[in-house]
Amino acid sequence: MAEFNALELVNPGVKKLRPYQAGKPTSELQRELGLQHVVKLASNENPLGLSEKVKTALEAELTDLVRYPDANGYYLKSRLAELNEVGTQQITLGNGSNDVLEILARTFVSDKDEVIFSQHAFVVYPLVTQAIGAKPVAVPAVDYGHDLDGMAKAVTDKTKMIFIANPNNPTGTFLSTSALKGFLDKIPQNIIVVLDEAYYEYVPEEERAPSVDWIKSYPNLVVSRTFSKAYGLAGLRAGYAVSHESVADVLNRIRQPFNMNSLSLKAAEVVLDDHAYLQKAVELNAQGMKQLTEFCEELGLNYIPSYGNFLTIEVGPDAEKLYDELLHEGVIVRPVGGYELPNHLRVSIGLPEENQAFIKAMKKLRG
């Protein structure tokens, strides 16, 4: 009998996929190298830890975990609708915003369609496109960011979806309000435009696009956001999308009824009202960004100016080697060769002492 191989049974697009490479956990590095202290600056997490209000709410929630969560997320949807000044019927909840992005693609895109995104953009866009069997159209970046004119020119009669990350991960680049609106004016309404705003809260208020308001004029626009970054809930997996009610209606037909658990629903609801926590996270990030950029300028290292909670630094053709050397110093950062940035490392903003640990290791290795 021939040896069983599940790859022979899967859809063609899935066969070519490679598993998503997450940041190395601190426990794994400690076990591998016998290190006592490790600093993780690899996954764009909030270094503050959980909001104290969230901790209190989660403790109270533990008593009822034998029950299924609210499948419709009534209280969280109501709070999000109020915050964004939309109807609850326009909200789709997700197990992190990654979940929402995949639901969008599986809802609207077939293997006969094309999906447009930028070079150096978030890896989930090409992954889900390939899994569906659709044609990925990666438009070359300009200055490491989205070339919106090039993306508009790439539209064909087969284009079904366009992904835009603003700010973008892993480059941190940012698109202005006028550039985004001009782009939306060019895109036919039979093409879904997904504006991925995972790092929205780190953008200065005066520079944020009124993206949710635009949905009234551009019903093909979907705005996705997450609680994993500035809100500090990466481990609980909470995200959402705001869209035209007819778009949300079909998304909620595809969405699994319990894709957010009771703890993530409660944590997301509570943290939305912890304004002091969010402000502290944003201020800490700005301080850490200044700490890292000043270090780069001191050592003469080029970096991509970032609107996120990370900095992508050009370190040269031995970036992978430097990444490994930093691991041995107890500092985990993120190599981004898979994003066609083989000479760069992405460094998440941590606590001041964590940023300093990276700086100290870099000076030892490169100073």
One domain for residues 332 and 194: no
Residue 174, domain member (yes or no) = yes
**Beta strand pairing call for 192-196 and 159-165:** parallel
pLDDT per position as a tens digit, 13-44 = 666 656 656 655 676 666 666 666 789 999 99
Q: What's residue 366's pLDDT? A: 81
Residue 162, domain member (yes or no) = yes
| Residue after which a domain boundary falls, among 272, 301, 328 | 272
Residue 282, domain member (yes or no) = yes
| Residue after which a domain boundary falls, among 272, 291, 319 | 272
Residue 179, domain member (yes or no) = yes
Residue 344, domain member (yes or no) = yes
Return d(Cα 167, Cα 177) in angstroms, integer.
12
Return d(Cα 291, Cα 69) in angstroms, integer.
42
Return d(Cα 363, Cα 367) in angstroms, integer.
4
CATH number for the domain spanning 238: value is: 3.40.640.10
326 contacts 315 by C-beta, under 8 angstroms? no
Burial of 181 (0-12, 13-18, 19+ CB in 10 A): middle
Residue 51, domain member (yes or no) = no
One domain for residues 89 and 216: yes
One domain for residues 281 and 232: no
Residue 10, domain member (yes or no) = no
Q: What's residue 258's pLDDT? A: 87
Residue 55, domain member (yes or no) = no
What total number of domains does the chain contain?
2
One domain for residues 247 and 345: no
| Residues of the chain below pLDDT 70 | 1-2, 6-10, 12-25, 27-36, 367
One domain for residues 155 and 30: no
148 contacts 140 by C-beta, under 8 angstroms? no
Residue holding tokens 């991925």? 196
171 contacts 145 by C-beta, under 8 angstroms? yes
One domain for residues 267 and 282: no
pLDDT per position as a tens digit, 317-329 = 999 999 999 998 9
Q: What is the pTM of this model?
A: 0.91
DSSP 254-282: HS-TTSS-HHHHHHHHHHTT-HHHHHHHH
Helix ranges (H only) for the chain are 12-15, 26-33, 52-61, 74-84, 97-108, 124-132, 148-153, 177-186, 211-214, 245-254, 262-271, 275-299, 319-328, 352-366
One domain for residues 216 and 109: yes
Structural domain containing residue 184: 64-272
65 contacts 264 by C-beta, under 8 angstroms? no
One domain for residues 259 and 313: no
Q: What's residue 357's pLDDT? A: 96
Residue 271 tokens read as 């943290």
pLDDT per position as a tens digit, 50-69 = 999 999 999 999 988 989 99
CATH number for the domain spanning 33: value is: 3.90.1150.10
Helix ranges (H only) for 133-259 are 148-153, 177-186, 211-214, 245-254
One domain for residues 247 and 359: no
| Residue after which a domain boundary falls, among 272, 294, 310 | 272
One domain for residues 323 and 266: no
Q: What's residue 37's pLDDT? A: 79
Number of neighbours of residue 195 by Cβ within 10 angstroms: 27
Q: Which residues contact 322 (CB under 8 A, 6 or more apart)?
A: 315, 316, 345, 365, 366
Element (H, E) at 10: none
223 contacts 195 by C-beta, under 8 angstroms? yes
One domain for residues 101 and 226: yes
One domain for residues 168 and 197: yes
Rounded mean pLDDT of the chain? 92
**Beta strand pairing call for 221-226 and 192-196:** parallel
